[in-house]
Amino acid sequence: MLQSAILQGKNDFATSERVLGTDSGKRSYTSGHVYLASFSNFGDFLLPSSSDSTRLVAPAILAGLGALAHTLGTLVLMIEASGFAAAAATTALGTVIQIALAFLTLGLLSSREVECARHGHTKLFDFPAINCRKHSAVLTEFGGKGDGKTSNTKAFQSAISQLSRLASDGGAQLIVPPGKWLTGSFNLTSHFTLYIHKEAVILASQDESEWPVVSPLPSYGRGRDAPGGRFNSLIFGTNLTDVVITGGNGTIDGKGAYWWDKFKTNQLKYTRPYLIEIMYSQQVQISDLTLINSPSWHVHPVYSRDIIIQGLTILAPTDSPNTDGINPDSCSNIRIEDCYIVSGDDCIAVKSGWDQYGTSFGMPTQHLLIRRLTCISPDSAVIALGSEMSGGIQDVRAEDIIGINSQSGVRIKTAVGRGAYVKDIYVKGMKMYTMKYVFWMTGNYGSHPDKGFDPKAFPVIQNINYRNIFAQNVSMPADLEGIQDHPFTGICISNANINLSAKPKKVLWNCSNIAGVSSKVNPQPCNLLPNKVSASCDFPPDTLPIDNVKLKICSGSGTYI
């Protein structure tokens, strides 16, 4: 009977995956904290129960079944204790006892395996990453407590410090298990993965002593909220190679309301922290996480290259100040894909430094691919280019973008004093619903870091391409305002169908100091964008190097309750 039960268990592997709703081959069980499901087609292997919900098996049988899980490569049946007791009173008592004894025996025989699983390393999950790690540890091994009250700043710091010694021996990963993990700022290391379990929440501390104050970014010259320094980001890394921040859709909660209130009441001595900031680094991956309520920007890669950001859900109140979603800043070779963002500011803002400081630093953002983004941002843009763009922005490609209830689609923001350029921008396959503007460019945006900016530093805006655009419920198709005597040129809009709201603006296309062409655009564009039948606003046919990077399937391991 035991043999037939095992065979039946193998046959029901696919069923178990469907019951739990798992995806991509991920397993919904962990060593010491096992998530299991019951199935109706296990035949006489299924003990009687009055419920079809997930149930609890007697501990002795669970040991045997737990061992079976690793043998079968499938999930294990959990049987309600009351159902097991009730079975003893039925005429099937002999059969039930026979099954129970068989599993008890298997449990005893496999006790060594179970004990090893408790004290050793057991495969828990698979996940995609740029590189896999040889070593694995769990935050609780370093004194971490996931009670939502105890500070884990020292636990994170200790864990990462010790695991950094393994960088030359295949690297290491730190697993944040289920729980609520309160922490202040901590720094990452190279050849390292931070994995946040799907039932784990990292909570940002509101104790400012756990947030070190660091120098302003050199390309900005000062903090954005206040002159001088800034609070270090919650998760920070600098001068790193090969770093991954990922999870099974685990959560990082910035607890931003504390900081938003201080910002609104002018109580900040230093600039608010970001949620994640990686600087002067290469081979960076941030993926498969839910990020909420950052004090300011959520994700800020800066002075870095070879970056993959994917599968993020980013959520902040739409009235929260400066809670941008993803802001690549003076970075090269970046891929942002499959993200859903609700924000109080731009969902994605591409930057490269502020006025004379950005000019002096001289590092552009270039070779950026954005695709399959969904954005809600009532007061800002789906994708913004600038306004801090004094190092230059070039070769940005955006495709398959959805904007909902947002102020504008792709917006270019700059000003006299910024200098540099925004050029070679390509957008195709963008759909927008309930928008103030579809196209928005301005040469008169934003403030300056100080009085040292160059009033003769005029930005160059050229070769801006939009293709295959659809929008409905729009107040105004376009507000395009360049800089007098320094027009924005090479604007191309092709195959754009814009449906107006019930009460649109009287002036549908506001254009000044621009030059370009249009083709198959409705409503009719302004005279500065004359119709040209051959205008196609082509998307580049080549691929960026980052698009050729394929992620590996890695395994997480560790033991936790």
Phi-psi domain of 558 (left: phi exceeds 0; alpha: psi -120 through 50; beta: other): left
| Tokens linked to 47 | 């003990």
DSSP string, 307-359: EEEEEEEEE--TTSTT--SB--BS-EEEEEEEEEEE-SS-SEEEB-B-HHHHH
DSSP string, 370-383: EEEEEEE-TTSEEE
Catalytic: which of 324, 345, 346, 424?
345
345 as an active site residue: the answer is yes
**Residue 268 one-letter amino acid:** L
Tokens 């001068």 label which residue?
A: 239
Alpha helices in 147-256 (DSSP H): 153-163
| Tokens linked to 477 | 């198709």
User: How crowded is residue 101: how many other Cβ atoms within 10 Å of its Cβ?
Assistant: 13
The C-alpha atoms of residue 176 and residue 202 are separated, in whole angstroms, by 8
Among 316, 312, 287, 498, which Cα is nearest to 409's? 498
Among 20, 24, 30, 17, which Cα is nearest to 556's? 30
Phi-psi domain of 473 (left: phi exceeds 0; alpha: psi -120 through 50; beta: other): left
Among 248, 200, 207, which Cα is nearest to 231's? 207
Q: How crowded is the C-beta side of 282, counted as CA atoms within 13 Å? A: 3
Tokens 């039932």 label which residue?
A: 199
**Interior CA angle at 155 toward 153 and 158, to 5°?**
110
Tokens 């043999």 label which residue?
A: 3
Distance of CA 254 to the CA centre of its chain: 14
**Residue 9 one-letter amino acid:** G
DSSP state of 59: H
The C-alpha atoms of residue 375 and residue 398 are separated, in whole angstroms, by 13
Structural contact between residues 404 and 433, judged by C-beta atoms closer than 8 angstroms:
yes
Residues with Cβ < 8 Å from 470, sequence gap 6 or more?
430, 431, 432, 496, 497, 498
The C-alpha atoms of residue 104 and residue 88 are separated, in whole angstroms, by 16
| Tokens linked to 93 | 């008592």
Phi, psi of 166 (to 5 degrees): -95, 5
Question: What are the catalytic residues?
Answer: 345
